[in-house]
Amino acid sequence: MNYVIASCSERIAVTGHALMSFVAKNCERLELLKGAEVECASAVEMALISEGPDGGPVFRHPKAPFIQAQLIEISLVGGRLASFSTYQNGYTWGIAMDYRDAPSVDRLLESWVRGNTEPPIFRKVPDLDFPIGVIANVGVAFDDKKDITEIILTIGNHNVLMKAGEAHETSATEFLLYSQEESILLFQDPDDVKRVAFDR
C-alpha cells in the first residue's frame, strides 16, 4: 500500500490554509529538499521506557516499530544538513526542519548526558538504517492548527515517515503512545504506522 501525503504546496492549495509565517517558512525549507541527495543520517533517540526489567532504559519494544527521536539530521551532498526537531504550539507539538552547516547530534547528546550518573535515556541511534539517494518527494500532513504533524520523504524507492508523538511509560514493560507530542517517531516503513495503537 502506498502511503501518500500531499506536499506543502498541494496541501495549502487544497485547504486554502493561510499558514502562520513560521510554518510557511518551514514548508519552504521542506520543498527545497526535493532533488537533494542524502549521503547518510544520524539521530538522537530517547528511551521508550526509562527503567526496564533489567533496570536499564528500553529503546526497542515489540509495540514500537519506530525510533523515538529527539533530533534527526540528514547529511546532504554538498555539505549541508537537514535537521528535524519538534516545537510546541499550545498543548500539541509539530515538526520543524532547518538547514545546518555543522552536525549537532553528538554535541546535543553530550550536553544531555553530561554529569548524569543514571543510565542515560538518550543515545545516538546505533547503525541507523536510513535510505540514501535523491529525495524525489516531500509530503506533509497538517493538524487543525496548521502545524506540520507528519513528514514523509521519498528517497529513491524508499519512503520514511516522521510523526510527532511520544511514548509515556506506565510500567517497566508498557507505555501509552500519544500523537502530536514532543518527540519524532521515525518509521522506516510508513506502513508500520497502521500497526500502532495511539492512545491519544
* Mean per-residue pLDDT pooled into runs of 10, the chain (200 residues): 49 52 83 94 95 94 95 94 93 92 79 68 91 94 87 95 96 95 96 90
pLDDT of residue 120: 86
Contact 67, 186 (CB under 8 A): yes
All three cell numbers of 75: 547529511
Q: What is the pLDDT of residue 49?
A: 96
Predicted local confidence at residue 142, as pLDDT: 87
pTM: 0.88
What pLDDT shows up at residue 14?
45
Q: Which residues of 80-95 are buried (b: 16+ CB within 10 A; e: fewer)?
A: ebbbbbbeebeebbbb
pLDDT (0 to 100) of residue 86: 95
The pLDDT, as a whole number, for residue 115 is 63
Radius of gyration over alpha carbons of the chain, in Å?
A: 17
